[in-house]
Chain A
């Protein structure tokens, strides 16, 4: 079984279908990506670099903004992306 699923070609993150260990390499569409951290099952890994404030795509759609620089192979989750919607805390 392929350990990752890349839902849409526009997506800069993939979903891991089993846990990945730090340093483990996986193949995706002819490229080799190495996990920079232990990534739990069904969590996301970046396959493109994303600038701080840059957009994360899954299903070919926006799922949030990067809060810091994200590198290829990074675990993408609460520590480095955030929702942009329904944010009363961001109102002046």
Chain B
């Protein structure tokens, strides 16, 4: 199956052609945002970390922002560092440059302050943006697509209608040679035995199970009650009672494909195609950010209660299984799987509709979150700031 997309030097393709202005730390974020605002076609990411972090978190931050730079939806990158921050701009730029895409970097302290850095950054970014604007979409095979699967603001309709619909579309993508990522380790607790049985490789199966156990053990070691955070207040009002119930509904997003492998947060999806699991938190923004850093060019997001979330560089398609939510939030929801519950439609019917929309969005059509300018970004934190 073919789509029209932007071919990259490393053989991957992007369904968008962003110029990313990438701050290596929170100290560079405001400057990066102002450079991006000066250059049409440029986007920035509101990085809140990258300074005074200890090793595990610092490397996770670097992996995440570099992953955004490497994502095939990004055609060129301007890295902005402060100078004394934990992640050096030159190192981050060198990593992104491995993809073969144009990369430049500036350091605010070397430029002589905010205003001079903004001027220098815009001077470098504008020609890169012009260059990207000339690039044409080419015919690419959908087997090169990596899709992130997400659910948020869940209610029982998510497990009964919208997640099975996503599962249908994910299975169809994998059958066509593409890749999907199931995520949100917290929301696997209680369903891990069913998913583990679908890993052919015993090493990857063990890794998957250890990721789930680590999250549960972390909640236990803190002496806290996981119930204080999961399900969320909105999940409970909607009718979800326990994390197990939520997880069993969440996992329908994974369709029926076997699992190829288990990935760490923001880890790049390997060349081998298929269904992957990625270790991310249940918090939607951090979870989507991890999958996009791992290479996802497109995200499919189901919601019961309604949520506006998008991503700075990947289009996010919204689907709800709750007919009332579809009526109440027409600004935000693209696909109405509520017809499965209220109108006698079938999962394959709505699944085909979703798949058609995925192809349309790959070809450049904007889903609602993208058209509204939603570009939420957040990096998973393992420890704290020191």
Contacts and interface: CB of A to CB of B under 8 A. Distances in A.
Contacts of A44: 156, 239, 241
A74 to B, nearest CB: 13
A64 to B, nearest CB: 4
B191 A89 contact: no
Given A15-B239, A85-B190, A7 B160 contact: yes
A88 B190 contact: no
Contacts of A61: 190-191, 194, 244, 248
B258 interface: no
Contact of A81 (B226, B238, B241, B249): B241
Contacts of A59: 159, 248-249
B156 A88 contact: no
Interface in A19-67: 40-44, 58-59, 61-64
A63 B244 contact: yes
A42 B238 contact: yes
B151 to A, nearest CB: 15
A81 B156 CA distance: 16
Contacts of A69: none
B224 interface: yes
User: Which among B160, B219, B241 has the highest number of chain A CB atoms within 10 Å?
Assistant: B241
Nearest to B251: A59
Interface in B52-101: none
B245 A88 contact: no
Please report whether the interface of chain B is mostly helix, strand, loop or mixed according to DSSP: helix
Contacts of B223: 88-89, 91
A15 B156 contact: yes
B220 A42 contact: no
A40 B324 CA distance: 14
A86 B160 contact: no
Nearest to A91: B220
A33 to B, nearest CB: 17
A44 B239 CA distance: 7
Contacts of A86: 186, 189, 215-216, 219-220, 226, 230, 243
A8 to B, nearest CB: 10
The interface size bin for chain A is 20 to 34
Contact of B226 (A43, A64, A87): A87
A46 to B, nearest CB: 12
Contacts of B239: 15, 40-44, 77
Given A5-B160, A78-B236, A89-B225, A84 B244 contact: yes
User: Which among B186, B216, B242 has the highest number of chain A CB atoms within 10 Å?
Assistant: B242
A14 to B, nearest CB: 11
Nearest to A62: B244
A90 B304 CA distance: 31
Contacts of B186: 86
Contacts of B216: 85-86
Interface string B144-174: 0000000000011101100000000000000
B10 interface: no
A17 interface: yes
A82 B120 CA distance: 58
A74 B244 CA distance: 20
A62 B190 contact: yes
Contact of A58 (B194, B227, B236, B248): B248
A42 B157 contact: yes
Nearest to B215: A86
Contact of B220 (A5, A40, A88): A88
A62 B245 CA distance: 8
Contacts of B30: none
28 contacts: A5-B160, A7-B160, A15-B160, A15-B239, A41-B239, A42-B157, A44-B241, A59-B249, A61-B191, A63-B242, A64-B241, A64-B242, A64-B245, A78-B241, A82-B227, A82-B242, A83-B227, A83-B241, A83-B243, A83-B244, A85-B242, A86-B189, A87-B220, A87-B226, A88-B221, A88-B222, A88-B225, A88-B226
Given A42-B155, A89-B225, 9 more contacts: A44-B241, A59-B159, A61-B244, A63-B242, A63-B244, A78-B241, A83-B241, A83-B243, A86-B243
- Give me the 6 closest cross-chain CB pairs, A-B, nearest first: A86-B226, A86-B219, A83-B242, A63-B245, A89-B225, A64-B242
